Structure 1
Amino acid sequence: MLENILFGQGFHIPSNKHKGIALALVSTALFVVVGALVRVLSERIHVFEILLFRQLVFLVILSPAIFTHWQSLIRPQYLAWHSARIVGAFVALSLSFLVVANIPLADATALGFTQVIFVALISRLLLGEQVNWQRVVVIAVGFVGVLLVIQPSFASSSLNYIVLGLLSALGAAIAVICVKKLTGKDSTTNILAYQAVFVGVLAAIGAWFNWLTPSLYELMLLLAVGILSSIAQWFGVTAYKYGEANVVSNIEYVKMIYAICLGYFCFGEVPNQLAVLGAGILMLSPLLPRQLSRFIRKPS
């Protein structure tokens, strides 16, 4: 097991809570590294080709489970939800690769956090879920943080990529909602396998028209994107097995630190003071509801 490698001899984790936090920290770091690799590859390789390799590696890793559950896979159910998840995942992945290839790493990461806004809206409109005031506070403050990081300008040439980043976040939100709807109705293997296969098919169509045979170096980076993405996803899911959901989910905001550091050291991207302030607001926003609750309950 991968967590046994991470937490092997000589590395002691005092509790499951800390193990969940550690796994989440590694997962978020790996996702940012994948973004940096996509940035390097996109200088010559089209994003559809990068996505195709990512899906192929994921399929290879998933193949034992697919072989075991092939009978249920050839008799699909809940086609509407699976189809919406596939489209949402394809939009999210392909556009996120395009965005990370063309704007600063921290900006692309910040745009990804707008997913929580779309999840809240879609959950409220389609699933009838209530959004409590604590969640509204986190979303509103987090959105302010996003705006400070990306500092959108209608005169900026990056505006198109900001819009694409928002569409990517919308696609990711649709995929999340569909997974939430399918969980408990269909198996995890089916959910993952359909996404892996059909997002790969859509990426293959795009890659066919934009194919460029990768060099050995680029091939190694393409495989790294697939492997690291799969490991990051697995670590992220496993983190919830050990840690509380509200604690683990808040670790996601540490991505901003990784993105700023990696953008600076690898691509020479230097954030201004407003961007640093926005990153700080983003990371602190999940803590605000608890502090406000204490303030409200505090006797006068």
Structure 2
Amino acid sequence: MAFNDNIKGAILMSLAMASFTINDAMVKLVTDDLTTGQIMFIRGAITSVLILLVAWRMKALRPLKTVLQPWFMLRTAGEIGASITYIHALSKIPLPNASAILQALPLAVTMGAALLLGEQVGWRRWSAIAVGFVGVMIIIRPGAEGFTAASLLVVGSVITAATRDIATKKIGPDVPSLFISATTSVTITIVGAFLIVPFGGWNPVPLDDLGELAFGSVMLFAGYQTLIMAMRTGEISFIAPFRYTSLIWAIMLGLFLLGDIPDIWMLTGSAIVVSAGLYAFYRETVLQRRRLAEIENNLTVS
């Protein structure tokens, strides 16, 4: 793949992470006024309209029976779980802390792929996974004064999001990404509507909160699209590390927009998680090159 394609893919991945993190910041801004169910419902409704319009224009819609595929349903369940836990956690802890814990997601996906899909993971990547989760423990500090139970909600979000990503790998290539995004967004909207009462009922929605959620919805949609474009433009091994740029955005937005000042524990834990993730990506790249070299040697011999 051309070097320029990798650069484009890296830029698109960085834009995707910026979009997702801005969306998180918008959600964080309204958590004092609105419940988790309200946020899921309002943001989901706006996002669903955007995605459905684009999916319809691009003829990416499929029969509803498609969503009944087991892996599709598991992916949707994972997305719902990730949304509930992460949005609720954002109402309790600073954005940079939540984002820092979420950086363990690639490591969780690697672990899940090994345990559930039988993918080969060597001792080096298992070590990286273990080190990464030590970093998570440093961030959440169980038993420390800075610990909050909401931190465990983000860990739950990592687990459910990893389930979502693993299930996504098993969905057939004949199912368009836009259709997956559209049906997931609609489902989250419906679930959000059902959660309004259990999470405290319907609060009045100030106009500025509605505007922030609308802007967040646009950013969420932009994140979905640029992420898909990134994965289809550059080599995954090259662009995947740029996922960690979301942490930079989270720290900046937390500091200048939300007034959240990261402490030394959060920064130390984040550095460990990111370093472990980058090493895991590096090992995956090395293994992929070896596999390609073996295939080429076999073809040459034959």
Q: Which TM bucket (shorter chain)?
A: 0.7 to 0.9
Is 1:273 paired with 2:271?
A: no
- Given that residues 66 and 189 in structure 1 are in contact (C-alpha distance below 8 angstroms), is that contact kept between their aligned partners in structure 2? no
Q: Over residues 126-162 of structure 1, what are the superposed CA-to-partner deviations in whole Å (9 max), with x where a residue is unaligned?
A: 22122134432432333233333x2413254743112
Other-structure match for 1:159 = 148
Sequence identity percentage: 25
- Given that residues 99 and 247 in structure 2 are in contact (C-alpha distance below 8 angstroms), is that contact kept between their aligned partners in structure 1? yes
- 2:218 corresponds, among 219, 227, 233, to 227
- Given that residues 119 and 173 in structure 1 are in contact (C-alpha distance below 8 angstroms), is that contact kept between their aligned partners in structure 2? yes
**Residue type of the alignment partner of 1:91:** G
Is 1:236 paired with 2:211?
A: no
Other-structure match for 2:300 = none
Secondary structure of the residue that 1:267 maps to in structure 2? coil
Secondary structure of the residue that 1:76 maps to in structure 2? helix
RMSD (Å), alpha carbons: 2.6
For residues 157 and 151 of structure 1, the distance between their equivalents in structure 2, rounded to whole angstroms, comes to 8
Other-structure match for 1:144 = 134
The 10-residue stretch of structure 1 (165-174 or 282-291) with the greater mean CA deviation from structure 2: 282-291
For residues 49 and 77 of structure 1, the distance between their equivalents in structure 2, rounded to whole angstroms, comes to 25
- 1:39 corresponds, among 16, 28, 53, to 28
Q: Any stretches of 5+ residues in structure 1 without a counterpart?
A: 1-13, 295-300
- 1:24 corresponds, among 13, 22, 27, to 13
- Given that residues 100 and 266 in structure 2 are in contact (C-alpha distance below 8 angstroms), is that contact kept between their aligned partners in structure 1? no
Compute the TM-score of the two structures, normalised by the length of structure 2.
0.82
Give the 3 Å change call, closer, same or farther, for CA 33–77 of structure 1 in structure 2.
Answer: closer
Is 1:197 paired with 2:186?
A: yes
Q: Any stretches of 5+ residues in structure 2 without a counterpart?
A: 287-302
Give the 3 Å change call, closer, same or farther, for CA 78–133 of structure 1 in structure 2.
Answer: farther
Compute the TM-score of the two structures, normalised by the length of structure 1.
0.82
Give the 3 Å change call, closer, same or farther, for CA 117–23 of structure 1 in structure 2.
Answer: closer
The 5-angstrom pairing of residues 1-300 of structure 1 reads 15-64=4-53, 65-66=55-56, 68=59, 72-76=62-66, 78-148=68-138, 150-154=139-143, 156=145, 158-184=147-173, 186-208=175-197, 210-288=201-279, 290=282
For residues 242 and 221 of structure 1, the distance between their equivalents in structure 2, rounded to whole angstroms, comes to 31
Cα offset for 1:77?
5.8
- Given that residues 60 and 176 in structure 2 are in contact (C-alpha distance below 8 angstroms), is that contact kept between their aligned partners in structure 1? no
Give the 3 Å change call, closer, same or farther, for CA 92–189 of structure 1 in structure 2.
Answer: same
- Given that residues 55 and 197 in structure 1 are in contact (C-alpha distance below 8 angstroms), is that contact kept between their aligned partners in structure 2? yes
Give the 3 Å change call, closer, same or farther, for CA 102–77 of structure 1 in structure 2.
Answer: closer
Give the 3 Å change call, closer, same or farther, for CA 69–282 of structure 1 in structure 2.
Answer: closer
Q: Over residues 18-70 of structure 1, what are the superposed CA-to-partner deviations in whole Å (9 max), with x where a residue is unaligned?
A: 22111211221222222211111011011221111222122212223248455
**Residue type of the alignment partner of 1:168:** S
Other-structure match for 2:296 = none
The 10-residue stretch of structure 1 (200-209 or 272-281) with the greater mean CA deviation from structure 2: 272-281
For residues 137 and 284 of structure 1, the distance between their equivalents in structure 2, rounded to whole angstroms, comes to 12
Count of residues in Structure 1 that have an aligned counterpart in Structure 2: 278
For residues 123 and 228 of structure 2, the distance between their equivalents in structure 1, rounded to whole angstroms, comes to 27
Secondary structure of the residue that 1:130 maps to in structure 2? coil
Give the 3 Å change call, closer, same or farther, for CA 81–229 of structure 1 in structure 2.
Answer: same
The 10-residue stretch of structure 1 (197-206 or 252-261) with the greater mean CA deviation from structure 2: 252-261
Cα offset for 1:240?
1.9
- Given that residues 23 and 238 in structure 1 are in contact (C-alpha distance below 8 angstroms), is that contact kept between their aligned partners in structure 2? yes
Give the 3 Å change call, closer, same or farther, for CA 137–251 of structure 1 in structure 2.
Answer: farther
Cα offset for 1:205?
0.8
- Given that residues 107 and 277 in structure 2 are in contact (C-alpha distance below 8 angstroms), is that contact kept between their aligned partners in structure 1? no
Give the 3 Å change call, closer, same or farther, for CA 49–192 of structure 1 in structure 2.
Answer: same
